Structures are given as structure tokens and as C-alpha cells.
Amino acid sequence: MVVEARLAERIGITSPGLSERIGVTLLELGLPVQIPPDLSPDDIIHTVQYDKKMHSGIIHFTLPVNIGEVRVGVEVENLDLAFEEV
């Protein structure tokens, strides 16, 4: 969820800070907020390319706009944006 919120921030679907708000809430609930170190962004991107949401070479995400609000079918061509460090 945090990575998807970060992606939404970087492509302008949501305002900056949403990924941080989601991350804080998940941490308070004892849930993980980071990708495990043994799982590389390249491995994730490779796997996503076989996801059922992939159409015509473009992945379609459901991304957060705000807490409790999402946008469905967002086309994302550059998944590297989700993994870039701030």
C-alpha cells in the first residue's frame, strides 16, 4: 500500500504525504511498510508484467487518491517511479 501510494504521489494522482500517512497507520497496526530487502524492485517489476491487470503492455493500477478513495484503471508505464528514493 505504501509503494502504491508513493507511486500515486509521483504521478500526481494524490498529494504528497499520503504514503507517509498510510505508512504510519500500518506501522501502528504492526504491519510491514517496506519491501523485504531480499526482494529487488527488478524482481517485482518483472512479476507485475504477468499480472492480470496488464493490458497491451501497460499495467492498470488501482491507486489511492486519499484515505478511503481510490482511482481504478490508472495506466502506469514506468513502474520504476514506485521504487525511486525520494
With cell 507485475, the residue in question is 48
Per-residue pLDDT 10s for the chain (86 aa) are: 998 899 999 999 999 999 999 999 999 999 999 888 888 888 887 777 776 666 666 778 899 999 999 999 898 877 777 777 64
- Burial state string for 10-26 with b = 16 or more CB within 10 A and e = fewer than 16: bbebbeeebbeebbeee
**Residue ranges covered by each domain of the chain:** 2-82
Q: Whole-prediction pTM value?
A: 0.79
Q: What pLDDT shows up at residue 54?
A: 65
Query: Is residue 7 a contact partner of residue 35, using CB atoms and an 8 Å limit?
Result: no
